Structure 1
Amino acid sequence: MRLAERHPRLWQLARFGVVGVATNLLGYGIYLVVALWVEPKLAVTLLYPIGIVMGYTGHARYAFNYAGGHGRGLARYLVAHAFGYGLNLALLYVFVDRLGMPHQLVQFVAIFVVGAFLFVLYRLWVFRGAPDPRTAAALRNVRHGSAE
């Protein structure tokens, strides 16, 4: 039995990580450049929509094997990201504006905090519903202790 079939949730987390790392490395690099010219919260505001667009397809298709309606999935994805954006701004406000920490470090840590928050929302709400038939079959096999 393959690792993905024995541990589908762990495999899903790994796929989420691959999409997230690729999206966030690119986004963080662009953030560092843009933050040379504009205030950090404005840089995040300008770049957040780009990350949303880059991440939806990767997360829906690769990480969560989502086969539900993309209108509904995208709408929920946008709501989840609105909350993620708010959390990101709150972290910058508290740790940079109030506590005087370097914005580069705070934003780097925020990537992981917001990422964990979004994974939970994606899993429980955004991409919940009709999974890809292959994933559904693997989950059924794992739950019933059988392998194909």
Structure 2
Amino acid sequence: MLDDTDRRLLRLLQSDPTRGVPDLAEAVSSTPAKVSRRLERLRNDGILKGSRAVIDWRALGYSIAVSLRITLDKTVPRAFDDFIAAARDVAEVIEIQTFLGRVDVRLSLIAKDLADYQRLYRDNILTLPHIADIEALMTVATVKSDESLPL
């Protein structure tokens, strides 16, 4: 499906999504018109979803990251839907994942400090619907955080 030029373009964009088409064309020994067509095809095929700004939340004053593993009350028919809808409204929740198994949902959230986390936990997390069990894991260090694919 992908040829070597496609892979090279994707690697270049992973390392620097702000690179312009002329720069990409030069890097892959092609013309800007051909690179534009390739990028459009990669977008149309759903391979290249776009570029985004990655903001360092620590630079904005958040110093605490917590992962909450939540088990929901599965006797309630809409427990997942109700919980996820409410969790989306908590601004400090930066990621929501669902699982099969003992843990149903994992929330990643950030807080400015421990007092802010305590307030957030009491006022926003514990009030979420249908929680049967909750385990908080505070992040000590992020060893690897890389969304790049091995292309």
Q: Name the TM-score class by shorter chain.
A: under 0.3
Query: Quick check: which one's helix share is greater?
Result: 1
TM-score normalised over the length of structure 2: 0.27
| Structure in which a larger fraction of residues adopt strand | 2
TM-score (norm 1): 0.28
